[in-house]
Amino acid sequence: RYAELSLDVAADSDVIIWPETAIPVFFQDAQDFIQRLEVEAVESGVDYLIGVPSGSWETEVFHNSVFSLGRSHGFYHKHRLLPFGEYLPLRWFLTFFHRLVDIPLADFTPGGTEQPLLRVAGQPVGVSICFEAVFGSEIRRTLPESRFLVNVSNDAWFGRSLAPYQHLQIARMRALEMGRAMARATNTGVSALIDAHGRIIAQSQLFHTQVVQGLVQPLRGTTPYVILGDGVVLLLLCVVIGGGARLGTAIR
């Protein structure tokens, strides 16, 4: 379905982004499909970013990944994995619990912290996958090199709750903090284009088949958050707590 939707807009696009695990089989098992898509991408002059699980059956190391296809090729492997959803924390301690409750869990390996940025349309892009958008520090790693941001997500398990909209608001905050536009692709919504000020340029509806199109402006430079990170927030929090403690002492 993603391939069909992409063909309709490929001629007018520089970059097409598919959601997290848009290809629902391992990269090495989808080569026929990927090679056909590669041919279409080259003919259309468009680059793709596509979510797919990847890894090696020989080493039994697997990643939740995004790969680029078209004029450049590369992988980003998710660094911040979701506990219990993508890996079992404290495996040595919780293996018995896992067997007891018999809950199927993925067993991904986190990607490194110093992965090279993917390039699409000639621009380095900061990619994050789903849960990683919650952490400003994860996105901040890609700055100042990245010219715009991409977040892909599988929000299907949230259903029709408020969570997909909360996830969108989190993405808006990351765009504002980094001073970079963001393209966000999800399988069930809400997909969106967000400018560098955190404003929504275009967005899809929840559980509607739509292609979100628009202009994403590549940018350079840094913001105070990119330079200082979360340290300034923690410092201000300490000041507030310290001031509150002193005020409480004075009142007593």
58 an active-site residue?
Answer: no
Name the active-site residue from 4, 38, 130, 238.
130
Name the active-site residue from 20, 132, 138, 177.
20
238 an active-site residue?
Answer: no
Q: What secondary structure, in 3-state letters, does the chain show?
A: CHHHHHHHHHHHCCEEECCCCCCCCCHHHCHHHHHHHHHHHHHHCCEEEEEEEEEECCCCEEEEEEEEECCCCEEEECCCCCECCCECCCHHHHHHHHHHHCCCCCCCCCCCCCCCCEEECCEEEEEEEHHHHHCHHHHHCCCCCCCEEEEEECCHHHCCCCHHHHHHHHHHHHHHHHCCCEEEEECCCCCEEECCCCCEEEECCCCCCCCCCCCCCCCCCCCHHHHHCCHHHHHHHHHHHHHHHHHHHHHC
Catalytically annotated residues: 20, 78, 130
